[in-house]
Chains A and B, each alone.
Chain A
Amino acid sequence: MWGFLKRPIVVTADINLSLVALTGMGLLSRLWRLTYPPAVVFDEVYYGQYISFYMKRIFFLDDSGPPFGHMVLALGGYLGGFDGHFLWNRIGAEYSSNVPVWSLRLLPALAGALSVPMAYQIVLELQFSHCAAMGAALLMLIENALITQSRLMLLESVLIFFNLLAVLSYLKFFNCQKHSIKYMGMFTYVLMLAVAAVHAWHLIGDQTLSNVCVFCHLLARAVALLVIPVVLYLLFFYVHLILLFRSGPHDQIMSSAFQASLEGGLARITQGQPLEVAFGSQVTLRNVFGKPVPCWLHSHQDTYPMIYENGRGSSHQQQVTCYPFKDVNNWWIVKDPGRHQLVVSSPPRRVRHGDMVQLVHGMTTRSLNTHDVAAPLSPHSQEVSCYIDYNISMPAQNLWRLEIVNRGSDTDVWKTILSEVRFVHVNTSAVLKLSGAHLPDWGYRQLEIVGEKLSRGYHESMVWNVEEHRYGASQEQRERERELHSPAQVDVSRNLSFMARFLELQWKMLVLRSDDSEHKYSSSPLEWVTLDTNIAYWLHPRTSAQIHLLGNIVIWISGSLALAIYALLSLWYLLRRRRNVHDLPQDAWLRWVLAGALCAGGWAVNYLPFFLMEKTLFLYHYLPALTFQILLLPVVLQHISDHLCRSQLQRSVFSALVVAWYSSACHVSHTLRPLTYGDKSLSPHELKALRWKDSWDILIRKH
């Protein structure tokens, strides 16, 4: 117990000074004058909004990725005491004093800075020399595009940091914990899984190990590589949903059930509604598909025009549309076809799957009807109207059969918010559907509702759910109208489980397609490899100081060259080995293969999938792939020096060439520095001189 008194306490520290130096330089390059420019730079305008939402605890939906990245940024805001009050509306807007710019930009910058020593570690772990490792780190240090991207409130540097961390952890054979920042993080994860699977396969083939031992190994790997990431992924969403409990601008995309689980918004209205729909209930019906816009079944006094513009005729009955705003005309009464009364009897008679119902429009007391008349814009479907008896031998056909789509059994009760229902017309078996077309002026540009005759399977545009609901109590029309205008009462609170909310959120994130807007600085993946494009991030409001996302062209070109050399050399070695000619000793060969699988493979999985994507792409999407190229560069160089240079003389010449090449990279980096930090205003002449490629868009003020 007193042992420590008997022996001296010795602390031995093993400090790799180069690592410290690299970290220091990394921090210096990334953190220097971090608050400059004190204005919104490019995509900060986009991520800033989300930070504000976090600060105000308002729910949002972003399809670019899981919420961890946004949370990292928001953490910076939280530490800096940001209250979320800033209007992120314009690139170049000056930050007000309440925005803690430094702490908001700090975390991405730290991630960027730490990537530098991490590159060093990875190359060392790949069993290449200290020199090669230094080379990789120094290249990371002077890569202008990485510097620019790290110094702002953007996610790429965090993504790169965790990519590298995953590779490093796997190499060190710690538990590989893979975090997803954007969905691009998936690519590296898949690569790690593939490498791990190959290793595991070899392990299975190792017959010196016992079955139990192999099983334990595999189990441990499965837990580390599959279970932990999944749990973490869920955890991020859990925190995300816990943090964001208020309703906000993205509510409309989510289902009614999800909205009702947020504070404010729909929940304020639906709180206290009766759960089960009964005959006599007053309801609003929301279309589940909600495209092009979320909307509610609606009707109003106006009728369909007798003759359409194209000469076709209509029934001239009352219009039924889908209306994207809350309105008293969205209320419908569920009526029992066998009875006359429009109130809920006591006890309430609940509506079940398969029941026949009539839907009576609350304000006009006309009932929902469809018949063999072509719909205004979709002539292959039936017109849906509220029936007016013109006495012209066109009888009312207003019976609908209720089908609950997500029923548990065939006797399920129709529930508010939770049940998704279809209305099947009894006479024609047409299904009530939102066609997605906008009616012309006579229909006030509301959305067209049709009866789909050939229902070719399940589609969400035919599915509806009750959003607002109350038991109707007034038999008289006048009273009922007053009732419709008043808010609902009674209290039954409902909550959605985390898994249900998670699944819905995840699904919406995957299917949400933001409009394919063209952007001035968007580019195609082919342009990235040769750096044929740049992005102007920010321009000083008065001088011509500006920030560009522009890479160090020497590094980009040589990175691509290294990749090509690696591929050709590997092919050559493979072919020769197949013919039993072993150019490399076995351990050098294995090192070469592993380095290639991780670095070239990392490049490929982070780059090639973009060719399949249909969304708008930008140069910064290439940065994760670029870091893997940078890791590969020194590996290839060292390999050439070790195995291809035959004599000491050749080796010295080669080293001299490498030094010369690195100096030129430094020179380029220094030349482009004003565009990276944006701290120096250049003259038009100097700017023109920097435009090395015609396709680079450098802003030159005209005076």
Chain B
Amino acid sequence: MPPATGGGLAESELRPRRGRCGPAARAAGRDVATEAAARSPKRPARGSQRFEAAGRWALLALVTLLSFATRFHRLAEPRHICWDETHFGKMGSYYINRTFFFDVHPPLGKMLIGLAGYLSGYDGTFLFQKPGDKYEHHSYMGMRGFCAFLGSWLVPFAYLTVLDLSKSLWAALLTAALLTFDTGCLTLSQYILLDPILMFFIMAAMLSMVKYNSCANRPFSAPWWFWLSLTGVSLAGALGVKFVGLFIILQVGLNTIADLWHLFGDLSLSLVTVGKHLTARVLCLIVLPLALYTATFAVHFMVLSKSGPGDGFFSSAFQARLSGNNLHNASIPEHLAYGSVITVKNLRMAIGYLHSHRHLYPEGIGARQQQVTTYLHKDYNNLWIIKKHNTNSDPLDPSFPVEFVRHGDIIRLEHKETSRNLHSHYHEAPLTRKHYQVTGYGINGTGDSNDFWRIEVVNRKFGNRIKVLRSRIRLIHLVTGCVLGSSGKVLPKWGWEQLEVTCTPYLKETLNSIWNVEDHINPKLPNISLNVLQPSFPEILLESHMVMIRGNSGLKPKDNEFTSKPWHWPINYQGLRFSGINDTDFRVYLLGNPVVWWLNLLSIALYLLSGSIIAIAIQRGAQLPAEVAGLSQVLLRGGGQVLLGWTLHYFPFFLMGRVLYFHHYFPAMLFSSMLTGILWDTLLRLCAWGLASWPLARGIHVVGILSLLLGTAYSFYLFHPLAYGMVGPLAQDPQSPMAGLRWLDSWDF
């Protein structure tokens, strides 16, 4: 125990805390403070006050130190890639190598990892192929150290937040202990992952929000501005790492609305002042974060200027930005004309180019005509010639004038290699039975009226020319009225496992049926540089968000696989294997410290119970004694705020369709631990108050908290091998260091 607080100080001296703009900030604070002052009639001497302040700082330093010590202990172990380091380490390398990639999360987290690697002398040459690969001579400690550094700050942040909300050192201390000694938080902070960065920003936002709330009595002062803008910065950080950052934004938003509503109802403030308040918040909590968030993307696009593995996820126009991509610095004619040779790309991610080849559809699958598919790679079979529907003359004949294709024209698409026309008819498509089959038909361009398609540009007026790369076009079959699209389904072997192309009778506008022209060859037209067509920054920003959102919703769980469900998480049902399987491996297993987690779970239930009892009592107008009233306020306001955080970071996962993992719960777990700290401190104080007649009543509180602290520390001693690594037999074996600790069958370590 820290010497500054151990035993020597009376309880009432511990509680009131004077932050820089602390004491009279909130009603709760005021109540507690005045009540405490009333209870200790002799004002403590100045010397003792200074001593107390020094003690508080020492305590904070101790908590911080302990957190850093636990996080940095054995950070270098294991010396191989663990779990998702293979992704995020790799993405860090991409930044160092400046190659473009695609990920479902916004770029800030990976950019910081890359930066940390760069500064610590990592050269980006390690491949990060799969978990278990040895780092050898590559410098990885910079990146791990950076993540551990940010992860270490979670504990002091939580400590300060709880201190501000409850004005009780004991509550803060309990929270800090829960987080320091949680093996889950510890493990998650020790590797090259996005989670420590994300949690750092979430907690920073929470802390600065609480701080600026307690500055509310001194609006527009320097600390007020400082904490308000720091909240905004942290929000931008949280959202810039993962979209989960939206939950903390929601929390800050709700808090701000409540705050403004309160100010607005204060008739002593003029409307101008309220307007100033509103503007300040709009500036710091909306404009500033948005600007920062956009800036991270600007940096992201600037740094990643080389073509890389992420190209294919983006549109043709986007790819033209990347050096090394075949569209980079290319020059092609801008407007589509008859006689042009083109490739047509589907706008949906990972579908590819309209393709045909000499092979026919097999017997029994529609008409036995030439196959039409989509193909992901560049190939000469992707080339089509655009022709007028009613003449077969060669439009490239120099004697004809150039005629541009316009929105609404009836055209024919002739496959360049085989001279067959793109064709559709009333036969069912090979895989999607409700759609029509698309084939290549005709000889040397002579077919029938089923080869006619109307070309339309989405959202344009009739008669406009069609731009290469930029125009989003649809091809509508004239006879059946269906739309050319790709279902995205993989054809069997006869179709070379390319994707199915169909003509869909449902005229709904989906990306599957929208195409754009990518390559364009027409000797009669002047080439222009593609740089002219390059999308503007807002367009790139929008596109990358669309791709990220689609990528996220594309992460669907498979039916027959075991998947983690949100209800597993708070009960610590199952962990994640970070490294190693067999008894000879170095094993790390991400699992919350069960003592901490089950205490948290119990605390939530207890909180709901005690909170509703108190709320009903107040609503019934019960006259509470001053001390109880003060504690109830702490419980309802401080606890309520934290409970809201837990709710917002946990329940939305029940609505998500994507694959979920255990580590998604950790931000919620932080809030849950803060709630535990506040709850037990308040409950034990209430107990002590209730038993005041008993001589040892005061002791109940101290002993209660101390036993919780020691219990947590002891459980950490038991479970620490989960985080710091275990070698040797598995837990079933009585020889194992973890023997007897596998309390649930579902834990596998």
Binding site for B on A (CB under 8 A): 201, 204-205, 207, 211, 214, 289, 291-292, 433-436, 454-459, 461, 518-520, 575, 578-580, 612, 614
CB distance B506 to A518 under 8 Å? yes
Question: 8 tightest CB-CB pairs across the interface, nearest first?
Answer: A436-B560, A459-B562, A207-B621, A461-B560, A578-B265, A456-B562, A205-B619, A204-B619
Q: A456-B574, A459-B560, A459-B561 are in contact. Are A579 and B267 (CB under 8 A)?
A: yes
- Cα–Cα distance between A541 and B434 once the two chains are bound (Å): 22
In the complex, residue of chain A having the shortest beta-carbon distance to the beta carbon of B621? A207
User: Once the chains bind, are A436 and B558 in contact (CB under 8 Å)?
Assistant: yes
C-alpha gap A211/B508 in the complex (Å): 60
Say whether, besides A201-B619, A204-B616, A204-B619, A458 and B560 are in contact (CB < 8 Å).
no
Closest beta carbon of chain B to A522's beta carbon, Å: 8
Residue of B nearest to A519 (CB): B506
Contacts of B616 in A (CB 8 A): 204
Is A580 a contact of B619 with CB atoms below 8 Å?
Answer: no
B572-610 to A contact mask, C-beta < 8 Å, 1/0? 011000000100000000000000000000000000000
Distance between Cα atoms of A580 and B508 in the complex (Å): 51
Whether B137 is near chain A, meaning CB under 8 Å from some CB there, is: no
Chain A nearest Cβ from B346, distance in angstroms:
17
Cβ-neighbour of A518 out of B434, B621, B746 (below 8 A): B434
Complex Cα–Cα for A436 and B557 (A): 13
- Distance between B599 CB and nearest chain A CB, rounded to angstroms: 23
Q: Is the CB of A456 within 8 A of B748?
A: yes
Is A434 a contact of B506 with CB atoms below 8 Å?
Answer: no
B559 contacts the other chain (Cβ, under 8 Å)? Answer: yes
Q: Are A454 and B581 in contact (CB under 8 A)?
A: yes
19 sampled A-B residue pairs with Cβ under 8 A: A204-B616, A204-B619, A291-B559, A292-B559, A435-B560, A454-B581, A456-B748, A457-B562, A458-B562, A458-B746, A459-B561, A459-B562, A518-B506, A520-B506, A578-B261, A578-B264, A578-B265, A579-B267, A614-B657
- Of all chain A residues, the one with the shortest Cβ separation from B747 is A457
Please determine whether B619 and A520 come into contact, CB atoms closer than 8 angstroms.
no
Q: Tell me, rounded to whole Å, the shortest Cβ–Cβ distance linking A290 to chain B.
A: 11
List residues of B whose CB falls within 8 A of some A CB: 261, 264-265, 267, 271, 434, 505-506, 508, 558-562, 573-574, 581, 616, 619-621, 655, 657, 746, 748
Residue in chain B with minimal CB distance to A209: B620
Of A289, A455, A518, the contact of B560 (CB 8 Å cutoff): A289
Which residues of chain A have C-beta atoms less than 8 A from B574's C-beta? Answer: 456-457
Chain A residues positioned under 8 Å from B562 (CB to CB) = 455-459
Task: Say yes or no: A612 contacts B655, CB within 8 Å.
Answer: yes
- Chain B residue nearest to A574 (CB atoms) is B261
B710 vs chain A, min Cβ distance (A) = 33
Q: Are A291 and B264 in contact (CB under 8 A)?
A: no
Residues in chain A near residue B434, CB distance under 8 A: 518
Report the separation of the CA atoms of residues A579 and B265 in the bound assembly, to the nearest whole angstrom: 6
Instruction: Provide the residues of chain B in CB contact with A459, threshold 8 Å.
Output: 560-562
Closest Cβ of chain B: how far from A695's Cβ, in Å? Answer: 9
CB distance from B449 to the nearest CB of A (A): 16
Instruction: For B508, list chain A residues within 8 Å (CB).
Output: 518
The complex places the Cα of A100 from the Cα of B495 at a distance, in Å, of: 51
Q: A436-B558, A579-B267 are in contact. Are A211 and B506 (CB under 8 A)?
A: no
- Chain B residues near A520 (CB-CB < 8 A): 505-506
> A453 — nearest CB in chain B belongs to which residue?
B581
Q: In the assembled complex, how far is the CB of residue A244 from the closest CB belonging to chain B, in whole angstroms?
A: 28
Using Cβ atoms and an 8 Å threshold, which residues of chain A touch B655? 612
Cα–Cα distance between A579 and B508 once the two chains are bound (Å)? 49
Q: Which of A289, A433, A458 has the most CB of B within 10 A?
A: A458
Complex alpha-carbon distance, A575 and B264, angstroms: 8
Contacts A457-B746, A518-B434; is A291 near B560 (CB within 8 Å)? yes
A629 to chain B, nearest CB (A): 26
**Complex contacts, A456 vs chain B, CB 8 Å:** 562, 574, 748
Interface centre among B265, B505, B562 (most CB of A within 10 A): B562
B300 → A minimal CB distance (Å): 30
Check B621–A205 contact: CB distance below 8 A.
yes
Per the bound structure, the CA–CA distance linking A456 and B561 in Å amounts to 9
Chain A contacts of B506 at CB under 8 A? 518-520
Given contacts A211-B620, A520-B506, 13 further A-B contacts (CB under 8 A): A214-B620, A289-B560, A291-B560, A435-B560, A436-B559, A454-B581, A458-B562, A458-B746, A459-B560, A461-B560, A518-B506, A578-B261, A612-B655
Q: State the Cβ distance, B740 to closest chain A Cβ, in Å.
A: 18
Q: Are B620 and A207 in contact (CB under 8 A)?
A: yes
Bound Cα distance from A289 to B559, whole angstroms:
10
When distances are taken between beta carbons in the complex, the residues of chain B under 8 Å from A518 are 434, 506, 508
CB distance from A696 to the nearest CB of B (A): 12
Residues of A within 8 A of B261 (CB): 578
Chain B residues near A454 (CB-CB < 8 A): 581
CB distance from A405 to the nearest CB of B (A): 11
A518 to B508, CA, bound (A): 10
The answer to whether A204 and B746 touch (CB under 8 A), given A289-B560, A436-B559, A579-B264, is no
Chain B neighbourhood of A204, CB < 8 A:
616, 619-620
In the bound assembly, the distance between CA atoms of A678 and B506 in angstroms comes to 24
* Chain A neighbourhood of B267, CB < 8 A: 579-580
Contact partner of A205 (CB less than 8 A), chosen from B505, B561, B620, is B620
A618 to chain B, nearest CB (A): 13
Query: Which residues of the partner chain B approach A292 to less than 8 Å between Cβ atoms?
Result: 559
Query: B140 CB to closest chain A CB, in angstroms?
Result: 26
- A434 proximity list for chain B (CB < 8 A): 560
Chain A residues near B264 (CB, 8 Å)? Answer: 575, 578-579
Q: How far, in angstroms, from A577 to B533 measured CA to CA in the complex?
A: 54
The docked-state distance in angstroms from the alpha carbon of A436 to that of B559 is: 8
Inter-chain contacts of B505 with A (CB < 8 A): 520
**Residues in B neighbouring A435, C-beta threshold 8 A:** 560
CA distance A201 to B616 in the complex (A): 9
Q: Chain B residues with Cβ under 8 A from A455's Cβ?
A: 562
Q: How far is the CA of A461 from the CA of B619 in the complex (A)?
A: 51
Distance (whole angstroms) from the CB of A34 to the closest CB of chain B = 32
Identity of the chain A residue whose Cβ is nearest the Cβ of B616 in the assembled complex? A204
Provide the bound-state CA to CA distance between A434 and B621, in Å: 61
**What residues of chain B lie closer than 8 Å to A211, measured between beta carbons?**
620
Shortest distance from the beta carbon of A694 to any chain B beta carbon, whole Å: 11
Question: Could you say which residues of chain A place their CB within 8 Å of the CB of B559?
Answer: 291-292, 436
Task: Give complex CA distance A455, B620 in Å.
Answer: 54
B558 / chain A contacts, CB cutoff of 8 Å: 436
Complex-state Cα separation, A205 to B617, whole angstroms = 9
Closest to B561 in A: A459
Cα A518 to Cα B655 in complex, Å, equals 22
> Once the chains are docked, how many angstroms separate the CA of A455 from the CA of B745?
11
Closest to B574 in A: A457
Residues of A within 8 A of B657 (CB): 614
C-alpha gap A455/B562 in the complex (Å): 8
Chain B's closest residue to A614 (CB) is B657
- Alpha-carbon separation in the docked complex, A207 to B617 (Å): 11
Instruction: State the CA gap A201–B618 with chains docked (Å).
Output: 11
A454 and B580 CA atoms in complex are apart in Å by: 12
Across the interface, name the chain A residue whose C-beta is closest to B267. Answer: A580
Measured between beta carbons, the chain B residues less than 8 angstroms from A578 are: 261, 264-265
For A203, give the chain B residue with the smallest CB separation: B619
Alpha-carbon distance A614/B656, docked complex (angstroms) = 11
Chain B residue at minimal CB-CB distance from A452: B562
How distant is the Cα of A580 from the Cα of B655 in the complex, in angstroms? 40
Residues in B with CB closer than 8 Å to A519 are: 506
Closest residue of chain A to B432 (Cβ to Cβ) is A518
* Residue of B with least CB distance to A433: B560
Most buried by B among A289, A519, A578, A580: A578
Residue of A nearest to B264 (CB): A578
- Which residues from chain B contact A201 at a C-beta distance below 8 Å? 619
Q: CA A201 – CA B561 in complex, angstroms? A: 46
Complex Cα distance A137/B616, Å?
Answer: 41
Question: For A436, what are the chain B residues with a Cβ–Cβ distance below 8 Å?
Answer: 558-560
B265 CB contacts on chain A under 8 angstroms: 578-579
Q: Which chain B residues border A433 with CB–CB below 8 Å?
A: 560
Cα-based distance from A201 to B612 in the complex (angstroms): 12
